[in-house]
Amino acid sequence: MVAGAIDGLGEMANADAWLVHRGRFLDVTFLLATGGEEYLVRIYRGRIEEIVKGPHVMPRWTFALGAPRDAWIAHWQPVPPPGFHDLVAMIKTGALKLQGDQHLFMANLRYFKDLLALPRAQPEAAR
């Protein structure tokens, strides 16, 4: 379930010492959209501080990543199909939309790729 994968994202990310180390200079709030649901993800020094499920009234975020529920399910499969294996591939195929200030996203691309691949380790995330 997509919501379950996102709800567990904070614990998985904060338990990954290398991911936290990689994002140690990263402070950002971004919007993660899955079909009709939106989540504000607040990261401080590489640790996920908070994930707040919408709806939000005039949310403040630096950038937004949005994809249909089916695209996230494909991305979180243990071995994703071509075009869903990577965030940049999803953007290129049009499955994922990137909006807002892209600088922090691109400057920390490896962090976000690894962060949003974490639910692959959870078998129930791809359901």
- What pairs with residue 34 in β-bridges? 37, 67
Which pLDDT belongs to residue 6?
Answer: 84
- Closest to 71 measured CA to CA, from 93, 51, 52: 93
Evaluate the omega torsion of the peptide bond into residue 55 and state whether it is cis, within 30 degrees of 0.
Answer: yes
Q: Please provide the CATH number assigned to the domain covering 2-120.
A: 3.30.1050.10
pLDDT tens across 21-57, in order? 999 999 999 999 998 899 999 999 999 999 999 888 8
* Cβ contacts of 111 within 8 Å, gap of 6 or more: 19, 22, 23, 26, 46
pLDDT tens across 95-115, in order? 999 999 999 999 999 999 999
pLDDT tens across 2-16, in order? 767 788 899 999 999
- Closest to 113 measured CA to CA, from 93, 73, 84: 84
